[in-house]
Amino acid sequence: MIYVVSDIHARYDLFRRLLDAIKFSDGDTLISCGDIVDKGNDSIRLLKFIKNMPNARCINGNHEYAFLKYYWGLMRESPDNFDCVLKKLQEYFPDDGKLLDWDTVDWVENLPYYIEEKDFLCVHAGIPLDENKRTIPPEKATREQLVYDRNFKSPKVEVLNSKCVLFGHTPTSYILPDGSSKIIAYRRREAPRDSYKITDFYKIHLDTGTWLDGVLGCICIENCNTYYVKG
């Protein structure tokens, strides 16, 4: 099974509990839609854990992107002083920055900004739409658009492409009228009500507000079941 999660935000504890809850095994794949780091206390611990999972695939969110921009700035200032740059990068994460090493920095720098499969597309914040309410090809969007998109999350924004877009970035409790932290799956008008294929949905909003409400959720691509842990 393929499970998709977003905005874990340094909650290593919740992430491990989520893997237990879904009985995640070697035959499964986990996709993270970005914002693994910041807000919680275990940014680097979590980053290294996911980096070492052979069956995890990750893209960058705005929090990884902000870290990389800081890193690129330091390299411009002192391109030859690697020790000094690493020390400053470690200080960027006040809680567990000491765990940061060059392997992990390089790994983050080389992560993609979207993952595209036959039936679905994963991004952090969203993809711009063209005048026909179709997403532009992700390779034509800028990194800034993919990690900061402000419009895509709106319930008014419908996507007419055949692929489902999975994204995070904004806690769903800001969107849902009852303020609950649940995954929002937007069903296509033409999709049968009793069917739960990933292509029955045009977008799935995954940020359950880990840092805000302590809820971490994920969705299974094959059957669209959702799973939550709270702490």
Q: Smallest gap, in angstroms, from Cβ of residue 196 to Mn ion?
A: 27
Start-to-end Cα distance in the chain: 25
> Residue 60 or 200: which CB sits closer to Mn ion?
60
Work out whether 169 is an interface residue with Mn ion (CB under 5 A): yes
Nearer to Mn ion, 32 or 62 (CB): 62
Strand partners, 30: 3, 56
Closer by beta carbon to Mn ion, 35 or else 96: 35
Task: By CB under 5 A, tell whether 153 contacts Mn ion.
Answer: no
- Which residues on neighbouring strands pair with residue 201, listed in sequence order? 187
**Stretches 21-29, 58-66, 80-88, 187-195: which one binds Mn ion (CB under 5 A)?**
58-66
The answer to whether 43 contacts Mn ion (rule: CB under 5 A) is no
Q: Nearest distance from residue 139's CB to Mn ion, in Å?
A: 21
Least separation in angstroms between CB 137 and Mn ion: 22
Judged by CB under 5 A, the stretch of 60-68, 90-98, 107-115, 181-189 that binds Mn ion is 60-68
Q: Which region, judged by CB under 5 A, interacts with Mn ion, from 91-99, 150-158, 168-176, 220-228?
A: 168-176
Residue of minimal CB distance from Mn ion? 169
d(CA 61, CA 125): 8
Residue 156 is encoded by which pair of tokens? Answer: 């008014």
Sheet order of strands, 226-230 included: 56-58, 29-32, 2-5, 215-220, 226-230
Q: Which residue from 60, 62, 161, 172 is in contact with Mn ion, where contact means CB under 5 A?
A: 62
The residues pairing with 31 across neighbouring beta strands, listed in sequence order, are 4, 57
Q: Is the Cβ of residue 33 or residue 185 nearer to Mn ion in the bound state?
A: 33
Q: Kindly state whether residue 61 participates in binding Mn ion, applying the rule CB under 5 A.
A: yes
Site residue total, Mn ion (CB under 5 A): 4
Is residue 200 part of the contact set for Mn ion (CB under 5 A)?
no
* 145 scored as a contact of Mn ion (CB under 5 A): no
Interface positions with Mn ion (CB under 5 A):
35, 61-62, 169
